[in-house]
Amino acid sequence: MESNWLLLRCKCGQSFGARQGATASCSRCGETSQITTTAVFTDSAKLTEAVAKANLPSEIKDEINSRLGEKKRKQLTTRDRASSAMVHRILKQSTDERGILTLESLRNSLDLEGVCEPSAEQIIGMAELQGVVQRFSQEEWKWLA
């Protein structure tokens, strides 16, 4: 059974992470009672990013946000699961002008959108089962619909 990761904030202002169900104490002051849960993550890597962002001074956070372009912001905003509408849009974005969809272009689009699940292989498999695409070559598929 997988456990969740919690982004916690202490009364002293320090943010830190812990496994759900574990006894948490502030990494700065050692407080154990006046801690609030700010967010829940299924992946420890996402928690690490969130802790780093939460502990940034606001001036630095504002400067970083202003320097990041919209495309980069989308990359950094990860999603656990994509909706069916999003998957359809990503499939269309990954298709070239000849109507050919490649595994590499699909992976790149998923990365740009910050989508972790389903994987490119799972999406292609679902699209094949639904009769939306047909294998064209080793790592290429052609749209049927």
Q: Which residue would you say has higher pLDDT here, 145 or 39?
A: 39
CATH class for domain 79-143?
Answer: mainly alpha
98 pLDDT more than 80 = yes
- Report d(CA 63, CA 115) in Å as an integer: 26
The pLDDT of 105-120, averaged and rounded, is 86
pLDDT of residue 124: 92
Q: Is the pTM of this model over 0.75?
A: no
pLDDT bin (cut points 50, 70, 90) of residue 32 is very high
Question: Domains of the chain: which residue ranges?
Answer: 5-67, 79-143
The larger pLDDT score, comparing residue 113 to residue 79, is at 113
pLDDT tops 90 at residue 16: yes
Q: What is the pLDDT of residue 116?
A: 81
DSSP code, position 116 = E
Residue 6: CB atoms within 10 A of its CB come to 21
Q: Which helix (H) or strand (E) holds 87?
A: helix 84-93
Q: What is the pLDDT of residue 17?
A: 94
Q: How many CB atoms lie within 10 A of CB 88?
A: 14
Q: How far is CA 101 from the centre of its chain?
A: 22
3-state DSSP assignment of residue 54: helix
pLDDT tier at 83 (50, 70, 90 boundaries)? confident
